[in-house]
Amino acid sequence: MISGGGTGGHIYPAIAIANAWKSKYPDSDFLFVGAEGKMEMQKVPEAGYRIEGLKVAGLQRSLSLSNLSFPFKLLGSLSRAKQLLKDFQPDVVVGVGGYASGPLLFAAQNKGIPTLLQEQNSYAGLTNKLLSKRAKKICVAYPNMEQFFPADRLIYTGNPVRKDIMELEGKRDQAMVHFGLVEERKTLLVLGGSLGARTINQAVLTEMGAFERAGYQVLWQCGKFYFADMSAQVAASGLKHIHVREFIREMDLAYASADVVVSRAGALSVSELSLVGKPVVFIPSPNVAEDHQTKNAMAYVSQDAAVLLKDADAIGSLKATVDSITNDEEKAKELAQNIKKLAKPEAAAAIVEAIAALIP
C-alpha cells in the first residue's frame, strides 16, 4: 500500500515508486490511499492504479471552524485505515507525506506491518517526523537529514521522478511543434505548480511584452486557478509568443523546449530540474511550512546550480534575472552542468530495493 498526496510533489513520487516496483515485480498488487477531494483521487487512477480515499484534512494554522471537525475526521480516518489494512493485507506500507499517510501508517505500525517513509523535502514534514519513530526505513532526497530522523534508518536516495523526464535527447523538434514554438527564439519555461503561483503569474504578466520584444517565447503553466484570467489577458495583449497553459502534461517535451526554466522550489520540481540539466531560476513559495521551498532552493544555489529570486522581488525583476543568464553563455552552461551533478537518476530503483528488503 502507498499512501499520501495533496499535491503533485507527493503524488508523482508515489506513482514513480509504484511504476518502478511494478517493473521489477510485475505480479504485485497495489492499493493507494489518499485524502478525499484531493488531486491524488484523480491522478492515481489516471496512472492506472486503484485508490481509496480517507475523510482526512490538516489542521489549519489559523483559528478556523474547520479545526473543530479535525478530531472526528482523524478518528474516522483511523477506523477506515484499519479496515483497508484488514481487507488488503499488505506486506509493506509506504508513506510519501500528506494528510492521508498519517492515519494509514499509524494504523499499519500498530499492527506490526513494516512501514517505509519517503521524504521529498530538505525540511521534513510534521507527519513524517512523527511516523519516523516507528518506521523501518526513511528514504530522503537531501543529505544531512539526521536532524529530523533516526540516522541508522536513513537512506539517501533522492526523489523518484517520472521516467520520461530522464529521456529528453532528440525531443526538442517535437516539442517545438507540439507547443507551437519557433526555433529562432529562446524559450522561457515558467512553472508555478499545478494549482498556480500568484506572484510568478503576476511577474510574467507584468513583463510578457518585454519578453516578446527581447526575442523570447514563453511557455507558461499558470495553474487552474488563474488560467481564465491569464489567458484572457494574453489574448487581449495581441502578443504572439506567450503560450499560456492551465497545466502541462507533456513535461518531457516542455523541458526539452526550454533554454531557461523559472519554477517554484517544491521538492519534485527541484529533483526533476536536476535531471533535466537546464539553467533554473527558483522563486520559492513563501506560503509553505517552515519556508521549506527556500531551503530546497538554497541547497542548489549554494552549489552554483541555480539562481534564487525571492518571491517578494519577482514582480519587476524577473526579466532582468532571466537576462542575466541568457546574456552570459558561460553562466548558463555552468548552471546547467552544476545542477545535473546533483541529480539522482536511480532514486526510484533505490527506494524499491529498500522496500523489498522489508518484506520477509
The pLDDT score that the predictor gives to residue 57 is 64
pLDDT digits (tens, 9 = 90+) for 198-247: 999 999 999 999 999 999 999 999 998 999 999 999 999 999 999 999 99
Neighbours of 273 (CB within 10 A): 29
Q: What is the pLDDT of residue 59?
A: 45
pTM: 0.84
The answer to whether 325 is annotated as binding is no
Residues of the chain with pLDDT > 70, as a percent, come to: 95
Average pLDDT score over the chain: 92
Q: How far apart are CA 353 and CA 97, in angstroms?
A: 20
Residue 158 marked in a binding site: no
Higher pLDDT, 288 or 357: 357
pLDDT at 60 over 50: no
User: Given pLDDT bands bounded at 50, 70 and 90, which one contains residue 19?
Assistant: very high
If one compares 196 and 105, the residue with the highest pLDDT of the two is 105
CATH class for the region spanning 164-341? alpha beta
Q: Give the residue, 203 or 167, on which the prediction is more confident.
A: 203
Q: Establish whether 270 is an annotated binding residue.
A: yes
**248 marked as binding residue:** yes
Cβ contacts of 255 within 8 Å, gap of 6 or more: 165, 168, 189, 261, 272, 276, 278
Give the residue-averaged pLDDT of 113-124. 94
What is the layout of strands, in order, in the sheet containing 242-245?
A: 242-245, 216-221, 186-191, 260-263, 280-282, 307-308
Let me know: does 176 contact 182? Beta carbons within 8 Å: yes
* 237 annotated ligand-binding residue: no
Per residue in 295-350, pLDDT (tens digit) is 999 999 999 999 999 999 999 999 999 999 999 999 999 999 999 999 999 999 99
| pLDDT value, residue 287 | 86
- pLDDT at position 116 is 98
Q: Higher pLDDT residue, 63 or 119?
A: 119
Residue 59: CB atoms within 10 A of its CB come to 12
What's the average model confidence in pLDDT over 102-117? 97
* One-letter amino acid for residue 175 of the chain: A
| Residue 155 annotated as binding site | no
Q: Which of 13-22, 58-67, 185-194 has the highest mean pLDDT?
A: 13-22
47 is in an annotated binding site: no
pLDDT value for 199: 97
Q: 225 to each of 51, 192, 198, 246, how far by Cα in Å?
A: 25, 11, 9, 8
Do 2-159+345-356 and 164-341 have matching folds?
A: yes
Write the pLDDT tens digit of every residue in 170-209.
Answer: 999 999 999 999 999 999 999 987 667 999 999 999 999 9
Q: Is 37 annotated as a binding residue?
A: no
* CATH code that applies to domain 2-159+345-356: 3.40.50.2000
Check the annotation: does 271 bind a ligand: yes
Residue 269 among known ligand-binding residues: yes
Mean pLDDT of 122-151: 93
Q: pLDDT band for 67, please (50, 70, 90 cuts).
A: very low
- pLDDT above 70: residue 63: no
Tell me what pLDDT residue 283 has: 98
pLDDT above 80: residue 55 = yes
Query: Is 7 within any annotated ligand binding site?
Result: yes
What would the mean pLDDT of 277-302 be, rounded to a whole number?
92
Domain layout of the chain by residue ranges: 2-159+345-356, 164-341
The answer to the question of whether 9 is labelled as a binding residue is yes
